[in-house]
Amino acid sequence: MLVFIVFVSTSFPLGEAIAPTLDPKVLTLLRFVVAAALIGLATIATGSWQRPSWRHVGSYFLLGFMLSTFFVTMFSALQKTTAANTGAIFALIPAMTSVIAFFLLRQRPSGIQILCLLIGCAGTIIVLFGNDFAALSGLSLGPGEQIYLIGCAAYAFYAPVFRLCCRDVSPMMSNFGVLSASALMLAAYIAWEQPDIAWQAIPISTHLGILYLAVFSTAISVLMINYASARLPAGKVMSYTYLLPALVVVENMMIGKGWPGIWILAGVAITALATLVLQMGTTSERTNPSAAIAKG
């Protein structure tokens, strides 16, 4: 799970670097195509291939719409805001998912989970607003943060809807189906929109970045969380999400962006505290692998 969250966290600084060089929808499409091809091969190699029913096909497209919205808004937001801010907003997803799961699945979070959700939200607020109390009082987010918040809200529906629609499908097959559906919808929209893309002008660094995102931040990460979710309590799996803002800050420092402000450091420290609390409070909890995989 530590390697998994490192791979996921690196997608924010990398996305910030390559987002201005290519349309966010095209960037996401290329990522999905490569990742779907890799997971499709793994699905066949492991004997997990299943012929999907029409109900499952519909579920894949519904989940694919949520996933596409999340990643397109992520790359769009990274053209307008920082990796640290988007990483902080990402830490709100468990709280949003818990609310949605309560209404859709009647799942009640434990007391320790509620505490961690509140800690994570507090850390996010400190990162985003710092000592700007005027912006905090009006919940005034920048345009990039507003865009990504919409994407995170869409992604928050993913785990509960996955549990409702795809719990009878193998994780490998469902991930292949969702990624394929996402790629088809994006390809159809891009064909209709017909954006003017100067392919020859796209730098090689962007192509390498897309390849990294598809292989490590998508395909390999799926395999890692599948493995971990089958062996760890769901609370511990979820707890690693709260390490992401801290990792993004460290990665920004490693690539030469310098020390962040004191408020960002305080916010990510508080957010990371939620990981420790969940780790200590979920030692006896057992996991439902398919649900935990959906959270990932």
Model confidence at 140, in pLDDT bands (50, 70, 90)?
low
Please state whether the predicted TM-score (pTM) of the whole model is above 0.85: no
Residue linked to tokens 């490693």: 254
Provide the token pair at 140. Answer: 């005034």
SS3 category, 10: helix
Query: What's the average model confidence in pLDDT over 34-54?
Result: 90
Answer yes or no: is pLDDT of 68 > 50: yes
Residues in the chain: 296
Model confidence at 285, in pLDDT bands (50, 70, 90)?
very low
> Measuring CA to CA, how many Å separate 181 from each of 19, 30, 177, 199?
23, 13, 6, 24
- The three-state (H, E, C) secondary structure of 110-161, written as one string: CHHHHHHHHHHHHHHHHHHHCCCHHHHHCCCCCHHHHHHHHHHHHHHCHHHH
Answer yes or no: is pLDDT of 292 > 50: no
Model confidence at 122, in pLDDT bands (50, 70, 90)?
confident
Q: pLDDT digit string (tens) for 222-262?
A: 778 767 766 766 667 767 888 888 889 889 888 888 777 78
pLDDT of 288: 43
Model confidence at 181, in pLDDT bands (50, 70, 90)?
very high
Answer yes or no: is pLDDT of 62 > 90: yes
